[in-house]
Structure 1
């Protein structure tokens, strides 16, 4: 889930035309499972499922969803070809989108992921700082700035290019001891690669900047954006929605 910091050609724009009849058309990143995936006509994953749950609580509003290359989805919100997305409200995105005050989802990197039969599992689960992990081998992904900024260089580290390779090294080759990864992502990768039941995870509170909030964003050019954002925030603050959101996310763990 590193590059989910989430081509369709002219044919996609044409295929999306019928969906524009819906009140609100949202775009999501493809190939970022379990956070989001899908195609021209629909999207699935954590963010699409949470968004549909949100709109189910907005009487009078309808929702259509599509997935595609994330750069293109962002550009289409900026140009008004689609109406919204769910993402981190960066300064650049705030120029063309109005965001909810309340996040719909927090991607939480505050977890250690390791083999369920790891001989030092107790040590991993009782760690109170990175110092307690000295001597263990961290498996990371090359080119990921978040890891470079938040994981100390003092740890023994193996860097590889692909998330699948990271999981193979952990679960099959056992050449590293732990990953730092959201549990939803770790579980999805492990299941797809045939390692279900072979990994475990544990939350820790010593990883800086571990929680990345994802907010609902609507294009500023839509005449009803400000009104709908106010309604969205009301729903996002409600206990009923948050209970449902917790169940949705738990289903991916």
Structure 2
């Protein structure tokens, strides 16, 4: 009888220990996300200091709604992709190219639409004339345009229109040219353009038009095939994000400055 009691106690202790260990493992296993480290206000900061619209959005979806702790990591963009590919981090938010889908699984839901919108001088002909994308694209050849070196979207957009445009190293140069009347229109990612306009204190001189270009990219969540977070996680993520969109919270988070969207 005593021997049976000892065995029962040992089995019970082992079960409690195993349960505690599994619970602890589940508790501390975070979902690690890679971001571009120099893409303010969307994401900015190196290592685990990254902040911005995307980190805040992912914390709201995964940490607050799904109950899974999130770790945000900032990298140079090429390094971010490699980190996802190797499984060093679990995911990133970007275009699901053929190459990226070789090492990652994609969510069905769009996490972040990078809305490219035209920026013009306040009070200019362009501000009052352009009411849709058609208005802009049909007058491309009679206007002066500017964009940033390395902007793949702009390169494809203007190539399709058979148009030349001024290429400069940074967006602040384009915006200053626009304010001074040296160019007529900039078509750029709205959150980035708005951030630069505020930093340059050009809010009165420049205006972002409420026209979203049809070819604006839409980014899902790409989860590494090396990640312990598999298809069940992605399905739960899609369901959670759908609820947030229906509630109107998602739109607020992607359009508000990080400090104001909480």
* Counterpart position of 2:185: 178
Could you give the per-residue CA deviations for residues 128-186 of structure 1, whole angstroms, max 9, x where no partner exists?
33223542212233454432322365657333232121111112x22011101122111
Q: Do the aligned residues in 1 keep the contact of 2:90 with 2:229 (CA within 8 Å)? A: no
* Counterpart position of 1:237: 242
SS of 2:184's equivalent in the other structure is coil
Question: What is the TM-score when the length of structure 1 is the normalising length?
Answer: 0.80
For 1:22 and 1:199, locate their aligned partners in 2 and report how far apart those are by CA, in whole Å.
46
Q: Do the aligned residues in 1 keep the contact of 2:194 with 2:208 (CA within 8 Å)? A: no
* Counterpart position of 2:196: 189
For 1:241 and 1:63, locate their aligned partners in 2 and report how far apart those are by CA, in whole Å.
23
Match of residue 250, structure 1, among 246, 255, 259:
255
Please state how far the C-alpha of 1:22 moved relative to its aligned partner.
4.2
**Aligned pairs (5 A) from 1:25-104:** 25-55=32-62, 56-59=64-67, 61-104=68-111
For 2:169 and 2:218, locate their aligned partners in 1 and report how far apart those are by CA, in whole Å.
25
Q: Do the aligned residues in 1 keep the contact of 2:38 with 2:45 (CA within 8 Å)? A: yes
Q: Do the aligned residues in 1 keep the contact of 2:122 with 2:204 (CA within 8 Å)? A: yes
Q: Runs of 5+ in structure 1 lacking a partner?
A: 1-20
- Aligned residue pairs total 228
Residue 160 (structure 1) aligned with residue 193 (structure 2): no
Q: Runs of 5+ in structure 2 lacking a partner?
A: 1-27
Could you give the per-residue CA deviations for residues 6-29 of structure 1, whole angstroms, max 9, x where no partner exists?
xxxxxxxxxxxxxxx542111111
Q: Do the aligned residues in 2 keep the contact of 1:42 with 1:64 (CA within 8 Å)? A: no
Question: What is the TM-score when the length of structure 2 is the normalising length?
Answer: 0.78
* Counterpart position of 1:117: 123
For 1:252 and 1:192, locate their aligned partners in 2 and report how far apart those are by CA, in whole Å.
14
SS of 1:44's equivalent in the other structure is coil
Match of residue 211, structure 1, among 212, 216, 235:
216
Aligned-pair Cα RMSD in Å: 2.4
For 2:229 and 2:169, locate their aligned partners in 1 and report how far apart those are by CA, in whole Å.
43
For 2:181 and 2:92, locate their aligned partners in 1 and report how far apart those are by CA, in whole Å.
39
User: Bigger CA drift: 184-193 or 142-151?
Assistant: 142-151
For 1:127 and 1:54, locate their aligned partners in 2 and report how far apart those are by CA, in whole Å.
32
